[in-house]
């Protein structure tokens, strides 16, 4: 295998051919902010939090192949300001009410806001009306909090082998849909232990009857930054498909 | 049915978009039951069918009326052109609100993006057919016919007459095209030689981006794959462009031959014409030309009698989505999915349709290629500039006496075009559509060329009487409506930009809003996933730079204005309480 290096903010980072910039960065413990990426799932590039700069061009680290000699800027004031704006956009597009959300403290959107020093939402709220699906016995789908990251879609398809979710609609009408004839979660084959039911970075897919088991203040991002957690995450895709 | 197509294992007898179109026609909507049925027929997850239905403007889950009116909201063929508000007039004459279906189910009314009728003025689609609105009398006449349930076949035929005004012919449009000649030349020269000719001609993609056509074909030819494909992008959706409508109607032969010789060079057996849904009325004539070509042995198996030269073309009709003009979104749509642009690289030349090497070119590019195959590369290079060989066919519309199609050598000045179309009082020209460049008088000496002002063909003239802020708002709405919704900066940013411009137009904008608009524009432009996002804020950036007074004039002197109008937000409460007295208002 050919080993080579890219440079991220002055630091040399080795990569293997076929790796993306994000793959190489995470392997070298260099954190690039991301929400729609989860190592082990096919990268999608929709949230744009992982935007980096190569020369004058901005690209998503999670979908751009590492090429020897790339000079990459990531942790700069300008890029982080853009990332903060993108995070604010995700907040105002949905209806995120952190104090009453079960995910608070475990929520990556919230953690990203903290990480990027977001003190307000900046943009005017959209106040979109979105549907809640509480039809499933064990899982509730609250689209108010969905950030359209597509992680549940990919987790269901690639790891659970089920294809429970999809995204439909154009522009700000885009919304998460369920692959069942009624469009309801109860008529899908989603189960509580599926990765798709557990991977949601926000509080859009929540388990029922499990509220506040861990008190606020003792949750993941109450104790760690998203950059610490983001460097540890990955899905052992192979082991899951071997089990089947 | 053509053999080479129906024998192909990955070919479905009916395309998903066509099946959904048939259901929409039959039931005036696509119900959950229908979607489940289609999912079963096509062995697709019902969520994919739902996602497709919800992506395209011309499909609806709720019922449309038996007369479905979609008024263009383009700045050149929209319902506000000419000082009238035809949408409002229809709302009143038919007693139905935009976006709704009348309770008796007879009629529904809505807006749609540019329908490619910009040389005809205000126009709409009625049950998919373009109709020229002309004046308020016609609106009332239409309302009467609808209320009387008069069949469309009995409406005055001249309302549906789409004329092709070719006001200036050049290199391509002047040629008398002899069917089959470009293919005979290609076979005589061989694939290598013809590719060299295309490369030597300097032909660049006519969609606007201007990638070398010869190089694209060369990359595709070199790419390995189970099959190679040729796709003609006839999804001419950039507001203000309609020149492909002319080419598809009057020059389809050269387009087909351009595709076919491309197929010969890259080794493709299948090709597609992706026709925008707004041009469905051209479908049957195009099918007729295809059939004639098959009969003449110029398409199908053993073209011109040559062993192993099999190539055929299918037409896939889109369903209303501007983004499908982006080549990878177009391919997604061809594959029966929502038109969401792919991650590039890999590019379609190596991973296109069904992940196989695919050439996607604009209609005009294929037309030019066929002519180059007949006349040679030197002939083509006699016109144009060093970097932009040949000619460009422009769609000229807006505030001018002679809207229509104009073909010029590349390098023509904007001033020259304005003179020829008799635009005597132009204050600005939008070149390349809302995604292009907005220029003012000081730039009228600039050239139409890839190295200066690049355009897919749209050339919209704005006279001195036009309010440019209204134009900017129109474009901002267009992008917010057409954003595919995939990435955050474009999905949310285009909507925010629209809201910001609306605020300024309402007289509620502050200096801070201008700062905000600039920052937002740069964010969308820089961080979006695809070309739509990269270009969606150009018009605002140009507007602020070249016509700052248009924005300044509308600003309030206050340092802060809330993003919403507080009094307006109380309207619902006033309605519920049935109050409208002074105390129920904030001002």
pLDDT of amino acid B209? 86
Shortest distance, CA A120 to any CA of chain B (angstroms) = 15
CA B319/CA B20 separation, integer angstroms: 9
CA B267/CA B3 separation, integer angstroms: 18
CATH class of the domain whose range is B392-466: alpha beta
Contact with chain A for residue B492, Cβ under 8 A: yes
Measured from the Cβ of residue B453, the count of other Cβ atoms closer than 10 Å reads 19
The fold of A80-224 is Alpha-Beta Plaits (3.30.70)
pLDDT of amino acid A237? 52
Q: Are the Cβ atoms of A165 and B47 closer than 8 angstroms?
A: yes
Q: Are the Cβ atoms of B488 and A92 closer than 8 angstroms?
A: no
pLDDT in tens, B338-396: 999 999 999 999 999 999 999 999 999 999 999 999 999 999 999 999 999 999 999 99
CA A86/CA A48 separation, integer angstroms: 8
Nearest to B385 by CA among B472, B446, B432, B476: B446
pLDDT in tens, B11-48: 447 999 999 999 999 999 999 999 999 999 999 999 99
Nearest to B358 by CA among B336, B322, B333, B328: B328
- Give percent of chain B above pLDDT 70: 98
pLDDT of amino acid B564? 84
Question: What average pLDDT is seen over chain B?
Answer: 95
Q: Are the Cβ atoms of A124 and B46 closer than 8 angstroms?
A: no
Both tokens of residue B253?
């032969």
Q: Which residues make up the CATH 3.40.50.11540 domain(s) of chain B?
A: 167-381
Q: Which residues make up the CATH 3.40.30.10 domain(s) of chain B?
A: 67-163
Residue of B nearest to A157 (CA): B45
Block residue for tokens 């899951």:
A240
CA B166/CA B163 separation, integer angstroms: 9
Query: E-assigned strands of B436-582?
Result: 437-440, 458-463
3-state DSSP assignment of residue B264: helix
Question: Measured between beta carbons, which residues in chain A are less than 8 angstroms from residue B496?
Answer: 89, 123-124
DSSP structural state of residue B362: E
Q: Are the Cβ atoms of B526 and A58 closer than 8 angstroms?
A: yes
The answer to whether B512 and B559 have CB atoms below 8 angstroms apart is yes
Rounded CA Rg of chain A: 18
pLDDT of amino acid B82? 82
Say yes or no: domain A3-75 is CATH 3.30.70.2390: no
Of the residues B491, B493, B519, B522, the best mutation for testing chain A's interface (the one with the most A CB atoms within 10 Å of its CB) is B491
**Cβ partners under 8 Å of residue A92, min gap 6:** A121, A122, A123, A124, A125, A126, B492
pLDDT of amino acid B84? 92
The answer to whether A3 and A17 have CB atoms below 8 angstroms apart is no
CA B158/CA B462 separation, integer angstroms: 28
The fold of B67-163 is Glutaredoxin (3.40.30)
Query: E-assigned strands of B155-295?
Result: 166-168, 229-234, 270-275
pLDDT in tens, A131-158: 999 999 999 999 999 999 999 999 999 9
Q: For A62-107, give the secondary structure using H, E and C.
A: CCCECCCCCEEECCCHHHHHHHHHHHHHHHHHCCCCHHHCCCCCCC
| pLDDT of A240 strictly over 90 | no
pLDDT in tens, B539-584: 999 999 999 999 999 999 999 998 888 888 899 999 999 999 999 9
DSSP H or E segment with residue B471? helix B468-482
| pLDDT of B80 strictly over 90 | yes
Both tokens of residue B372?
């180059």
Q: Which residues make up the CATH 3.10.20.600 domain(s) of chain B?
A: 392-466
Nearest to A173 by CA among B483, B503, B68, B77: B483
| pLDDT of B412 strictly over 70 | yes
CA A195/CA A157 separation, integer angstroms: 10
The fold of B469-552 is de novo design (two linked rop proteins) (1.20.1440)
* Domain B167-381: CATH architecture, name and number where available: 3-Layer(aba) Sandwich (3.40)
Of the residues B44, B486, B510, B566, the best mutation for testing chain A's interface (the one with the most A CB atoms within 10 Å of its CB) is B486
Average pLDDT rounded to a whole number, residues A48-74: 97
Extents of the domains making up chain A: 3-75, 80-224
| pLDDT of B152 strictly over 60 | yes
pLDDT of amino acid B7? 39
pLDDT of amino acid B509? 96
Question: Measured between beta carbons, which residues in chain A are less than 8 angstroms from residue B569?
Answer: none
pLDDT in tens, A196-219: 999 999 999 999 998 889 999 999
- Give percent of chain B above pLDDT 90: 94
How far from chain centre, in Å, is Cα B365? 16
Contact with chain A for residue B486, Cβ under 8 A: yes
Nearest to B207 by CA among B368, B358, B343: B368
The answer to whether A130 and A143 have CB atoms below 8 angstroms apart is yes
pLDDT in tens, B163-188: 999 999 999 999 999 999 999 999 99
| pLDDT of B300 strictly over 90 | yes
pLDDT of amino acid B563? 87
pLDDT in tens, B461-517: 999 999 999 999 999 999 999 999 999 999 999 999 999 999 999 999 999 999 999
Q: Are the Cβ atoms of B526 and A82 closer than 8 angstroms?
A: yes
């Amino acid at each position: 295998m050919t080993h080579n290096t890219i440079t991220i903010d002055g630091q040399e980072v080795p990569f293997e051919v076929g790796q993306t910039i994000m793959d190489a960065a995470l392997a070298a413990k260099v954190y690039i902010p991301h929400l729609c990426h989860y190592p082990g799932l096919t990268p999608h590039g929709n949230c744009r939090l992982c935007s980096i700069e190569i020369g004058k061009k901005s690209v998503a680290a999670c979908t751009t192949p590492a090429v020897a000699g790339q000079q990459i800027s990531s942790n700069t004031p300008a890029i982080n300001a853009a990332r903060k704006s993108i995070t604010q956009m995700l907040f105002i597009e949905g209806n995120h009410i952190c104090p009453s959300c079960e995910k608070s403290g475990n929520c990556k959107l919230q953690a990203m806001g903290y990480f990027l020093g977001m003190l307000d939402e900046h943009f005017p709220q959209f106040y979109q009306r979105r549907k809640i699906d509480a039809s499933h016995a064990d899982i509730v789908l609250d689209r108010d909090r969905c950030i359209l990251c597509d992680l549940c879609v990919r987790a269901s398809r690639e790891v659970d082998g089920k294809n429970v979710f999809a995204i439909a609609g154009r522009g700000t009408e885009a919304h998460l849909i369920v692959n069942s004839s009624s469009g309801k979660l109860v008529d899908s084959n989603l189960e509580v232990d599926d990765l798709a039911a557990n991977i949601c970075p926000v509080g859009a897919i929540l388990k029922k009857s499990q509220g506040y088991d861990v008190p606020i203040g003792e949750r993941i991002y109450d104790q760690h930054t998203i950059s610490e957690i983001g460097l540890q995450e990955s899905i052992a895709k192979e082991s899951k498909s071997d089990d089947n | 049915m053509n053999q080479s197509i129906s024998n192909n294992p990955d070919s479905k007898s009916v395309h998903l978009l066509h099946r959904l179109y048939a259901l929409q026609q039959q039931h005036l909507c696509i119900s959950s039951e229908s979607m489940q049925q289609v999912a079963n027929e096509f062995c697709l997850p019902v969520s994919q069918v739902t996602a497709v239905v919800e992506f395209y403007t011309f499909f609806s889950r709720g019922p449309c009326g038996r007369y479905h009116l979609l008024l263009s909201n383009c700045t050149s063929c929209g319902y506000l052109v000419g000082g009238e508000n035809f949408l409002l007039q229809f709302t009143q004459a038919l007693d139905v609100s935009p976006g709704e279906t009348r309770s008796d189910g007879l009629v529904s009314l809505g807006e749609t993006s540019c329908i490619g009728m910009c040389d005809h003025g205000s126009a709409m689609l009625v049950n998919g057919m373009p109709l020229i609105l002309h004046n308020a009398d016609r609106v009332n006449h239409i309302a009467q016919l609808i209320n009387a349930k008069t069949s469309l076949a009995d409406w005055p035929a001249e309302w549906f007459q789409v004329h092709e005004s070719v006001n200036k012919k050049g290199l391509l449009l002047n040629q008398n095209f002899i069917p089959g000649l470009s293919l005979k030349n290609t076979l005589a020269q061989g694939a290598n030689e013809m590719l060299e000719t295309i490369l030597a001609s300097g032909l660049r993609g006519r969609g606007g981006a201007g990638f070398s056509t010869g190089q694209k074909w060369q990359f595709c030819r070199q790419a390995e794959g189970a099959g190679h494909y040729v796709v003609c992008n006839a999804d001419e959706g950039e507001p203000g462009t309609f020149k492909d409508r002319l080419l598809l109607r009057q020059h389809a032969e050269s387009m087909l031959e351009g595709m076919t010789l491309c197929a010969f060079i890259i080794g493709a057996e299948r090709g597609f014409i992706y026709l925008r849904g707004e041009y469905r009325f051209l479908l049957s004539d195009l099918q007729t030309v295809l059939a004639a070509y098959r009969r003449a042995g110029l398409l199908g198996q053993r073209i011109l009698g040559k062993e192993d030269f099999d190539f055929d073309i299918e037409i896939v009709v889109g369903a209303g989505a501007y983004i499908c003009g982006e080549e990878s979104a177009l391919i997604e749509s061809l594959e029966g999915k929502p038109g969401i642009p792919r991650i590039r690289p890999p590019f379609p030349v190596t991973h296109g349709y069904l992940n196989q090497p695919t050439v996607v070119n604009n209609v005009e590019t294929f037309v030019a290629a066929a002519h180059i195959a007949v006349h040679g590369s030197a002939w083509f290079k006699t016109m144009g500039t060093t970097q932009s060989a040949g000619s460009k066919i422009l769609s000229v519309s807006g505030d001018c006496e002679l809207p229509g199609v104009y073909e010029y050598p590349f390098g023509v000045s904007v001033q020259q075009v304005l003179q020829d179309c008799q635009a005597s009082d132009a204050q600005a020209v939008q070149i390349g559509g809302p995604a292009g460049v907005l220029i003012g008088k000081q730039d009228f000496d600039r050239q139409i060329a890839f190295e200066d002002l690049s355009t897919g063909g749209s050339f919209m003239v704005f006279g001195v009487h036009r309010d440019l802020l209204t134009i900017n708002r129109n474009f901002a709405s267009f992008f917010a409506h057409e954003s595919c919704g995939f990435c955050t900066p474009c999905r949310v940013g285009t909507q925010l930009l629209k809201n910001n411009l609306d605020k300024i137009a309402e007289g509620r904008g502050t200096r801070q809003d201008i700062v905000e608009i600039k920052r937002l524009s740069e964010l969308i432009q820089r961080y979006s996933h695809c070309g739509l996002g990269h270009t969606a804020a150009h018009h605002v950036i140009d507007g602020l730079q070249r016509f700052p007074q248009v924005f300044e004039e509308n600003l309030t002197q206050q340092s802060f204005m809330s993003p919403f109008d507080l009094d307006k937000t109380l309207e619902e409460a006033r309605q519920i309480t049935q109050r409208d007295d002074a105390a129920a208002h904030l001002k």
